[in-house]
Structure 1
């Protein structure tokens, strides 16, 4: 993906890995000093998000294409198309993501180290953006480069290096997953404490709270998930998009319409628009899987009518975004884990009313039996699925198709192993492949930095 350069950071952009940043000012180079100069660092990164360049904060179509190519909502057994066939093909690409994410963290640290304590409104807004962006980066590192959380053992699971500043002598090692989660949460809460006043810095209150909800949900903190999701639903000013408005919302090329809390690629003059036309074609080159298609009410579900054509090809606009429907789905699942079944099902029924013409309420006693042949057979806590949990996961799969979600659903719900056949060869997605390798350059440089299981040596 192309990257724009920012002249004011010429001194800071050398050396790409987590351990490779100088803490000295090269001769003849000028580092930022004024609020406006530091603001330009954040504006550069935000412009990447708005133009669709960014793959590592909000994400873009490239990210969706890779994730959907590796997951199972698109049927690679029928045809590979122009997507990656399975997770083993993108291992090298995924390890470089680690390096790229820490470059963004570096920029955030430059702002935070130099602006904390300044009292102008601009400084406060820039700091809010830096804390939010860094917190989201750590959330993304947790999902991609750490094993799926096990709440009972999260203090022992490996997390990420916690980098507050870049020092040539620093050899950061991996904190525990619990420490990393607390660190990411602290960054996001610091962003909220700055009370951003200018929306042009992107990471407004409910954008940050949506990521806090995602973080709590991913790490199985169900009480916190419930609190955050209810706050967003009740106070964000957004409502679930109805059937009549669904197509306009989901197929919007640039504008965040309806229930969308945040999305990438909102710049209608992006240099990459021509490229994304090709990416849409790549995604459309592989049909939706039969197991996904079977979940829809094809006559009455607006999601099927809008997102899948008569050849089973996905035609949904593939943008990275957070929508209120995802918040509702997280809330329903959290209630289910807390054995608050009626509340969980009521939210699933509420979403169905906004997607399915003539939808009737599901009832606990009449839910379909658990399908033993499905890929996901256990929940996030490793317990066998109940009919209610299956109904929640099914609704999420229908709702989040082509939004890069399915890969992480597989990872957090048991990390099942499965295979495809391509040109007479069998390719297996192993359990360890759900977690990406730490960038090899960092591991080679720092022998105390542990590599993830499956990628050693």
Structure 2
């Protein structure tokens, strides 16, 4: 169907339910039906549950037609490459070379995938939000499911408005094939409305029932990030404190514990997307691609399978860490232990998602993609507090993250002293550095540099000869979408 954002009509939506991946079935407790007829869908409580499960499934789907799920690869890879965080070594994906060097255009395949998968998933959310209220079912569950769909829609539009600016704001199941664009302010107003409704979601779910579902804490944390992005520091700080005061979340004592498979859905995970473990098989597209993309081929000497090393950290990123920062040792691998006992030094690669004990061959990682975790809330509150002149809170929360980085798993090292006596501008730089060290390969860096207007100054330091321009504070709208919809307006400079 010729459509700017590839609308999914009800009949097509039913077909989607046959495409939900095994990874989603492991992640949510209620499984969608294998086959369902159009005429009897949207009728029962179970149909409502399936409709919302389908939205979650497209966050990690490997069955999205020509594209992968929203957070399977292109989104977080693009956010890392279009910054001072990563470079590309994936020779058969030249569009990632373009992303890393800021030479991308409206023809970039990764940007097309991001647009396509976000709007497809937004369409599923719109269908659920519109149809579930018409179903005769338990009223409490009905409200919860609608608010879960609103959370997901708000999260997806937040991605899109930050990346592309003024875009179509599609809120109904049936819309014109060539919708007009909405202003950035209108899009943010809808995001805030959706996430505010989602604040009424449960703070948690019974054990074994709903890991991976949106919660009140997730809605508040994401709202805090929306407010921070908008420069509304008062509301950002307020939402961060609501998350903290809920008592539902905490930092792991050791940064290494954050990415252990046993920590999935644990106390630091506010909202994550799961990918399943591919049954231990070597299947590139079901494993989140963390190990495939990030681990070096040289680890084959240790029995690691399927490591390709497609995306690599910049040397500047690695060198920026204090040698005793626990995050450096956890985040990067710089040596290979050979069968004969010798050690081979290699350039840094990213290993943080690899649980060496639980998955020694690294050929089927079940690690989650962390959309937002508790450390993010602490650093957002530190940043907002600094902007508000509340220095006591600013130092308290940034130093909580700093203290954790001193812990080597046994003792606190004599390193990374607490921040004190910084000017407001020095504190801004400090919190941006902490975010860089804390969230490597978590899809955060481009957004942070764009939000703080530091792309032009920081990227050339890490990538000599690469100089972003003003236009790079937004990505170009995909040319295919502009060709289909004459109402779209290309971003300036593209």
Which of 337, 344, 350 does residue 314 from structure 1 map onto? Answer: 350
Q: Is the CA contact (8 Å cut-off) linking 2:276 and 2:286 kept in structure 1?
A: no
User: Structure 1-normalised TM-score?
Assistant: 0.76
Moved more, 433-442 or 52-61: 52-61
Structure-1 separation of matches of 2:143 and 2:472: 40
**Structure 1 equivalent of residue 314 of structure 2:** 289
Matched, 1:256 2:279: no
**Structure 1 equivalent of residue 20 of structure 2:** none
**Structure 2 equivalent of residue 382 of structure 1:** none
Structure-2 separation of matches of 1:333 and 1:115: 39
Deviations 1:57-84 (A, max 9, x none): 87234433333233222356xx787872
**Structure 2 equivalent of residue 123 of structure 1:** 142
Deviations 1:385-420 (A, max 9, x none): 821111111111111112121111221222534569
CA gap of 1:442–1:288, structure 2 versus 1, over 3 A, is closer
Q: Is the CA contact (8 Å cut-off) linking 1:298 and 1:304 kept in structure 2?
A: yes
**Structure 2 equivalent of residue 64 of structure 1:** 76
**Structure 1 equivalent of residue 364 of structure 2:** none
CA gap of 1:240–1:69, structure 2 versus 1, over 3 A, is same
Q: How does 1:389-404 map to 2 (within 5 A)?
A: 389-404=428-443
CA gap of 1:43–1:168, structure 2 versus 1, over 3 A, is closer
**Runs of 5+ in structure 1 lacking a partner?**
1-13, 147-158, 370-384
Corresponding pairs, count: 405
Matched, 1:110 2:127: yes
1:327 deviates by: 0.6
Structure-2 separation of matches of 1:171 and 1:50: 27
**Structure 1 equivalent of residue 167 of structure 2:** 160
Which of 170, 174, 177 does residue 181 from structure 2 map onto? Answer: 174
**Structure 1 equivalent of residue 19 of structure 2:** none
Structure-2 separation of matches of 1:402 and 1:361: 25
Deviations 1:430-452 (A, max 9, x none): 33234222343443344333222
1:19 deviates by: 7.6
Q: Is the CA contact (8 Å cut-off) linking 2:168 and 2:180 kept in structure 1?
A: yes
**Structure 2 equivalent of residue 268 of structure 1:** 277
**Runs of 5+ in structure 2 lacking a partner?**
14-36, 296-306, 335-346, 355-367, 407-411
**Structure 2 equivalent of residue 247 of structure 1:** 256
1:124 deviates by: 2.4
Matched, 1:39 2:49: yes
**Structure 2 equivalent of residue 377 of structure 1:** none
Structure-2 separation of matches of 1:208 and 1:324: 13
Structure-1 separation of matches of 2:217 and 2:200: 13
